Structure 1
Amino acid sequence: MVRGIRGATTVKEDVEEIVLDATEELLALMIEKNEIQPEDVAQVLITVTEDLIATFPAKALRRFEGFDYVPVMCAREIAVPGSLENCIRIMMTVNTDVAQDQITHIYLNDAVKLRPDLVLTDQSESV
């Protein structure tokens, strides 16, 4: 069965290493909490708000062993007035037998505002 795993985070500055490190942190938690194996990932879509232009956050996925061949793409998020700024969102599509209500979606930093109903207590403690 195919499931989508969501995640989002924010950064304080549009600097390449800051964006990549934040994306890596988010991906690591998504992978860990959902026990994801690279061969089970169909694709990863990463979007950023229009204020993040320093790098392609997809580069962070290549920091993970075994994820070399996972298809990943970046896109720009819709610029809705008043929406969360400096935000990186991830949609990871995986093959899994886990029920939809058992998927752990990860929201860090200011992105906890996006889906407070899905935020685990320890997620909001990220810096």
Structure 2
Amino acid sequence: MRAIRGATTVRENTVEAMREAVTELLDELQTRNCLHPNEILSVTFSVTRDLDAIFPAAIARSRPFWDTVPMLDVQQMYVQGSLERCIRFLIHAQLPTSFPVQHIYLQKAKNLRPDWSLPQSLHPSQSAVETKV
């Protein structure tokens, strides 16, 4: 079992903006990790207190094959001066331990983990040529 972290920010507290941000985040998750939803054991989404237009899990459940993934939405602890309009996830997936996990940090959330916001080790099915394009 492997854990994958990720986060993004939303431009405004609307269903449309949150749907766009969560979709981009999960698309990147699946692409960079060659991950299929049937490999996901669980997902916990957290949102900052300024986001309440829709549950991120509701957005995820509308994706193909995500409707059976156990998901939970929680509110991120507020810390004065912390990043606003932020959606985070912690995903547990059944992946080989030799698999190089790609943590996904997008938009302003790149500042949360600058070391993880850059492309990380290649998945064995990817070549160096593919990533340079």
Greater helix share, 1 or 2? Answer: 1
Normalising to structure 2: TM-score of the pair? 0.85
2:54 pairs with 1:55: yes
Deviation at 1:99, TM superposition (A): 3.3
Q: How many residues align?
A: 119
Normalising to structure 1: TM-score of the pair? 0.88
Give 1 or 2 for the bigger CA radius of gyration.
2
Residue matched to 1:10: 9
Supply the AA of the counterpart residue of 1:68.
D
Percent sequence identity over aligned pairs: 39
Deviation at 1:63, TM superposition (A): 2.8
Structure 1: gaps (5+ residues)? 122-127
Deviation at 1:36, TM superposition (A): 1.0
Deviation above 3 Å: which 4+ runs of structure 1? none
Residue matched to 1:26: 25
Deviation at 1:57, TM superposition (A): 1.2
Residue 107 of structure 1 is aligned with which of 105, 108, 115? 105
Root-mean-square deviation (CA), in Å? Answer: 1.3
Residue 117 of structure 2 is aligned with which of 119, 122, 126? 119
Q: Any idea what the Cα deviations from partners look like across 1:42-93, whole Å, max 9, x if unmatched? A: 0010000000011111112123211110011100000011110000001111
- Bigger shift: 12-21 or 56-65? 56-65
Structure 2: gaps (5+ residues)? 120-133
